Amino acid sequence: MSYAETIVLDVRIGQVPQVVSALTGRDGLAVWVSEIGVLNRVVLFRTAGTYDGLLDGRPDVLAAIPKEAVQNLDVTSWRIISPLLPAGAHGGIYEWRCYELKLGQVGDVEEAFAAAVPGRLGLSSLLCGMVSIEGTPRLAHIWPYADMNARLEIRAQAVASGSWPPKIGGDLVAMENAILLPAKGSAWS
C-alpha cells in the first residue's frame, strides 16, 4: 500500500515565486501552482510506501516553506487507491479533482471509483486516486494532460463513452476542481 500527502498553501499576493523557489528541486516533491481554481495557491504532493514514512518526511517539507509568504496551510494524508505514476514528466497541466463525502460512504465511493478507473485509463493516464485518512472524508484524483485542449477532448470522450465519471451518485457533499501547472524542478512535471 502507498500513501500520499498534499500540502496546500494559500500564498500572499506576489509571493508565489518565492515559495516555489524555496520548494522546487526536492527529491520526490511535486510543486504545482494553481492556474485555474483558487489563485495564489501552491500545491505540494509527495508519496511514501508507508504512513510512517510519510510522517517522517513531513517536518523537512514544512521547514522549507517560507512562513512569512503563506496565509493558510492545509496538510492532508491520503491512502492511494489506484496505480501511481512514478515521479517524472507526465504533462504540461495536472487536473486536481476532490470530493467531500458523506460520513460512512468512503467504502462505497472507493468501490465505484475503482470500478470506473480501468475504462477511463483507456483514454489517458491517472497520476493517482486516493482517499483521505484523516479529517473530512474525501476522494481525490489527479490527471496529467499535455495541455487544456487535450484535457477538454479526453474529458468529453470519457463522458460520451459512459466510462466516466464513476457512478458515485448522491454520496458527494462538495466538489472541487483545479488546473495546476508544474513548477520547473517539480518531481512530477
The parent domain of residue 94 ranges over 3-182
- Does 189 map to a domain? no
Q: Tens digit of pLDDT for each residue in 100-134?
A: 999 888 999 999 999 999 999 999 999 999 999 98
Closest C-alpha among 34, 30, 56 to residue 45: 30
Position 146 scores a pLDDT of 97
Q: What is the CATH number of the domain that holds 135?
A: 3.30.70.100
Position 168 scores a pLDDT of 82
- Does 59 map to a domain? yes
Residue type, 138: R
- Does 78 map to a domain? yes
Position 171 scores a pLDDT of 66
Residue ranges in the chain whose pLDDT is less than 50: none
- Does 187 map to a domain? no
- Does 57 map to a domain? yes
Contact 34, 95 (CB under 8 A): no
φ, ψ of residue 40 to 5 degrees: the values are 60, 35
- Does 49 map to a domain? yes
Position 135 scores a pLDDT of 87
Q: Based on the structure, what is the number of domains in the chain?
A: 1
Give the global pTM: 0.95
Distance between CA atoms of residues 120 and 124, nearest Å: 7
Distance between CA atoms of residues 77 and 135, nearest Å: 9
Position 142 scores a pLDDT of 98
Contact 99, 140 (CB under 8 A): yes
